[in-house]
Amino acid sequence: MNTQKLRIAAFQRHPIFDDLQKTIAQLCTDLRWCQGQGIDLAIFPESYLLGYASDAATIALRAFSTDSAPFTQMLQELSVFDTDLILGFFEQSAAGIYNAAAVIRQGKVMGKYAKRHPHERGVLAGHASPLFEKSGYSYGINICNDANYPECAAELSQQGARLLCYPLNNLLAPATAELWRSKSIDNLRQRAMDTGCWVASADVVGTHGGKVSHGCTCIVSPVGEILARVAEGSEGVAVFELE
């Protein structure tokens, strides 16, 4: 009998801008909680590490190389936790800047995904759709705008992914945020139904600089049913155990 289980947690958090130590402290608090709850995989929002931006100048200031001293310091502080995490950040590479998400296990980067359809200025498009594994489950990552492109999810499911993870950042002008309030959730449900995969998303929430995010953090079954969701307008965590 197959007894494999994957306990996942998707975090809805206020964005933290340009304060690495504050972000690391929040990650440690959340991962400590995960440890106590037996969480195997934790998902955090898009560009969570220093905050999201869409203009090239701010993005350049917030971009990290994974072998830089600040990133290495962060990995060292996260190495004490057993829970794997998906962490969004702007990655500075030799080729340029990517909107990326790293899979981190006990302080080591197991791999990265770069957003296939970035709309941020000066950000390069990723080309690979890597699979990752935890507790016998194969999973892949798409980032925010990628959810508008069914082929991104299809490519992962065709490789054998059973879970699709979506770091989101829906901090938008109020009128735009209202438009995406249900559309973002509808997209996630559709990607689940298209592929027959589980879907988990992690979004920011709250207001900052005249923009607002209602929060679209949820866990969706392969038939499109929302099985866990963080309340709109609130920080929190959606938890579900896949069997």
The long-range contacts involving 107-114, CB below 8 angstroms and separated by at least 24 positions, are: 107/75, 107/76, 107/77, 107/78, 107/79, 107/80, 108/75, 108/79, 109/66, 109/75, 110/84, 112/66, 113/140, 113/141, 113/142, 113/143
Candidates 187, 73, 229; CA nearest to 179 is 187
Q: Give the Cα separation of 72 and 66 in Å (integer).
A: 7
Domains in the chain, CATH or no CATH each: 6-242 (3.60.110.10)
Q: What is the pLDDT of residue 119?
A: 95
* Low pLDDT (below 70) residues in the chain: 1-3
Q: CA 109, 240, 80, 203: dihedral to nearest 10 degrees?
A: 60
Q: Is the pTM of this model over 0.75?
A: yes
Q: pLDDT tens-digit profile of 66-122?
A: 999 999 999 999 999 999 999 999 999 999 999 999 999 999 999 999 999 999 999
